Structure 1
Amino acid sequence: MTSTSQPGLTRFNTSPDSVALAALREVCASRAWGTRLLARRPYAGLNALLAASDTATGGLDGADLAEALAGHPPIGRPKPGDPASAREQRGMAGAPEELKAEMLELNLAYQERFGHVFLICATGATGEQMRDALKTRIGHTPERERAIVRTELGKINRIRLTRLVAEDDDS
Structure 2
Amino acid sequence: MPESTDTGVDSGLSRVNALSAEEFQTEFARCLDIDRWVTALERERPFNDRTALFAAADAHARTITDDEVAKALARHPRIGERATGRDTESAWSRGEQAGVDTGRSDVRDAFQAANAEYERRFGQIYLVCASGRSGEELLADLTDRLGNDPATEARVVADELRKIALVRVEKVLDQ
TM-score by length of 1: 0.89
Q: What is the identity, as a one-letter code, of the residue corresponding to 2:154?
A: R
* Structure 1 counterpart of 2:73, from 64, 69, 81: 69
| Structure 2: tracts of 5 or more residues without a match | none
Residue 115 of structure 1 and its aligned partner are, at CA, apart by 2.1
Residue 95 of structure 1 and its aligned partner are, at CA, apart by 3.0
* Structure 2 counterpart of 1:103, from 98, 111, 123: 111
Listed one character per residue, the Cα deviations across residues 59-98 of structure 1 (whole Å, up to 9, x for unaligned) are: 2222112112222111100211321111100112333123
SS of corresponding position for 1:140: coil
Q: What is the identity, as a one-letter code, of the residue corresponding to 2:170?
A: T
Distance 2:14 2:112 in 1: 41
* Number of aligned residue pairs: 166
User: Are 1:21 and 1:34, in contact at CA under 8 Å, matched by a contact in 2?
Assistant: yes
* Structure 1 counterpart of 2:30, from 13, 26, 33: 26
Distance 1:116 1:9 in 2: 35
What does 1:100-139 correspond to in 2, within 5 Å? 100-139=108-147
Q: How many percent of aligned residue pairs carry the same amino acid?
A: 30
Distance 2:160 2:148 in 1: 15
1:152 correspondence with 2:156: no
Distance 2:13 2:30 in 1: 16
TM-score by length of 2: 0.88
1:143 correspondence with 2:147: no
1:44 correspondence with 2:48: yes
Superposition RMSD in Å? 1.8
1:83 correspondence with 2:91: yes
